[in-house]
Amino acid sequence: MADDLQIASGTKQEQYESLLPQIEGLLQGEKDLIANMANITAALKEQFNWLWVGFYIIKENELVLGPFQGPVACTRIQKNRGVCGKCWADEKTLIVPDVEKFPGHIACSSLSRSEIVVPVIRNNQVVAILDVDSVSLDTFDETDRQYLEKVISMLNWP
């Protein structure tokens, strides 16, 4: 894959449709999970210019900060705490239009206004989550859910 990402314009769906094969190309032939997570976060951040895009990996029954793009972040999150911990506990994607209205929201950045969190499920258990934050309210919808779930399905988990 070329080193440069081709940033697309158009509808959200058109942007994802342009980005998916590029992400696939970035991951092709690379077996290192951390390298692949890093490239996924970079590609998503570059394309959509969201505030924060990153992975949390489950280690010793906690979500531990993994590869990300954006401001510094919370390092560890407990199960059922905040949007990320709730996503882990519920084992399903969560879309939060206004993080201030989410019970128990953890404000890693005061700039975050809306969020989507997608679980990475392997062998019927959550092994990580993809967390995306925006500075705008109501940024994420079913289109994001559909395409971000496709993106994380591209990860080859050991």
138 conformational bin, left if phi > 0, alpha if psi -120 to 50, beta if neither? left
User: Is residue 52, in this structure, part of any structural domain at all?
Assistant: yes
- Residue 3 in any domain: the answer is no
Q: Decide if 27 is inside a domain.
A: yes
Rounded to whole angstroms, what are the CA distances from 22 to 7, 26, 41, 103, 105? 10, 6, 13, 36, 33
Domains in the chain: how many in total? 1
Q: With CA atoms as reference, report the closest residue to 104 among 125, 86, 90.
A: 86
Asked if residue 4 is part of any domain, the answer here is: no
User: Could you tell me if residue 32 is inside a domain?
Assistant: yes
Establish if 16 belongs to a structural domain. yes
Instruction: Tell me phi and psi for residue 135, to 5 degrees.
Output: -80, -10
| Of 128, 136, 153, the residue nearest 59 (C-alpha) | 128
Give residue 1's pLDDT. Answer: 46
* Torsion sign over Cα 39, 40, 45, 46: positive
Per-residue pLDDT of the chain (158 residues; tens, 9 = 90+): 446 899 999 999 999 999 999 999 999 999 999 999 999 999 999 999 999 999 999 999 999 999 999 999 999 999 999 999 999 999 999 999 999 999 877 777 788 999 999 999 999 999 999 999 999 999 999 999 999 999 999 998 87
Q: Which residues span the domain enclosing 129?
A: 12-153
Residue 33 lies in a domain: yes
In a domain, residue 20? The reply is yes
Q: Are 81 and 106 in contact (CB under 8 A)?
A: yes
Residue 13 phi/psi, 5° resolution? -60, -45
CATH of residue 142: 3.30.450.40
